[in-house]
Structure 1
């Protein structure tokens, strides 16, 4: 059974889903901001955990009062607190993927009494990556400025889990044509069966991601000092299929910077959507360790 709520917080209304019973697990989504990314994993864990997922402000079924305002990390952490408070919870285990991992790191640094343990799956801290990886961000910024969010979103989505992108996305005309087709497809899918409607909802966040969230995510720098002294058990997750690419390298870099254990998860950057059953099995094992007095992890 899924309990759904709309939660009013400062400047936004958040759509939230609650499943299961047991220790609280808050799952924070990254770019795209939709609770649906975690639906299958949340269902698999609901026998043992109270799983909370939510659409981040401005994404999907959540609203934001000022859609012109850029993402603020402190605001994102405050939203996570609001979700917990609505369910009368003072603390929880936290899982975050990609940008959600960054929010998890910020939440742990700001509110160490709230985070019982954190799994940060492939946090994209670009300041720790190579000049080549950072050059990709400059390219995406330029595409957004010159061509708009949909061509930029297309280019972005083809860089996450591969060493190089198809030739067509390196061409301005190709990006415009395919980006336009994606936008039309997203609108048409909204009138299709449920799986297509869900994809349409996910893709409907593309413009907000590329124009309001992407740059602040990229610029974010964790508070390493606060995380080091927090005593919160933190694990970095890396997809077994993306370790050679910048999302996986980002996870390894954060782990090295903070001296944290790394656990490989099934799939790539979004393994929770690619292999939800296997991903849930690994996540369950990691959560079990986080609940131990002395967690033990091995790759």
Structure 2
């Protein structure tokens, strides 16, 4: 985590904190954000500042707590007094928002975690985590530093291992969490993980369009399902 809180704000309405996956770089999320901004003040958090000029600079190994603490500070900076925020995270960003909810539930209205790779919650989790790391990092890693660095290289070198080992330690307050998985992910590892987490944390579960990259592949449809999920949570809690 850097000292500077890198984030962008667009739209009007209730605050929705958006935590991208991978290394936290919001690449490809423009159409999703644009659609969500029709209904929300979308605050997109870039925890490593990779979209704000820091790509290529050295990055230490990350922890979910690093990102959730940064997200908390961003919310403190943008959230009007007396209001609570919606939060959405995908992939490694979903791990971060699970940690945010566990540590700082006070001003969070509802959290949606889309396919967090917390695979060690599965009965065979350690073996599945080793397979996931081998699948993603085995063929060769793009640079994480220097002029040819890529966000994916940073993810593989500094994010994948600690985030895939994360296990939520606290059950959230009732009705505050939705576990999301892609319709195209049914039967796959991260669908199994989302189901296991939903049971472990006694939370709702919702199918979203596409697979693990549904935020990019089906941005409008994905945004609409997210909007309805958050609105439904508001009606339920009213």
What TM-score range do you get, normalising by the shorter chain? 0.7 to 0.9
Q: Does 1:221 align with 2:167?
A: yes
Contact 2:120 2:128 survives alignment (8 Å): no
Number of residue pairs aligned between Structure 1 and Structure 2: 233
Q: Which residue of 2 aligns with 1:19?
A: 10
Distance 1:140 1:290, change over 3 A: closer
Deviation at 1:35, TM superposition (A): 2.1
Structure 1: gaps (5+ residues): 1-9, 144-154, 158-168, 170-174, 188-202
Range with bigger deviation, 203-212 or 244-253: 203-212
Which of the numbers 104, 121, 124 marks the counterpart of 2:117?
124
Flag structure 2 segments of 5+ consecutive residues without an equivalent: none
Stretch of structure 1 that moved more, 81-90 or 215-224: 81-90
Q: Distance in 1 between matches of 2:45 and 2:71?
A: 9
RMSD over equivalenced CA pairs, Å: 2.8
Which is higher, the Rg of structure 1 or of structure 2? 1
3-state SS of the aligned residue for 1:32?
coil
TM-score, normalization: structure 2?
0.85
Aligned counterpart, 1:100: 93
Q: Which has the bigger relative contact order, CA under 8 A and spacing at least 6?
A: 2
Residue 279 of structure 1 is matched in structure 2 by: 222
Alpha carbons of structure 1 residues 294 and 81: separation in structure 2 relative to 1, 3 Å: closer
User: Any runs of at least 4 consecutive aligned residues in structure 1 with deviations exceeding 6 A, and if so which?
Assistant: none
Q: 1:60 to 1:250 in 2, by over 3 A?
A: same
Q: Which residue does the alignment assign to 1:208?
A: 154
Q: 1:109 aligns with which of 71, 80, 102?
A: 102
Q: Give the whole-Å Cα distance in 1 for the aligned partners of 2:43 and 2:59.
A: 28
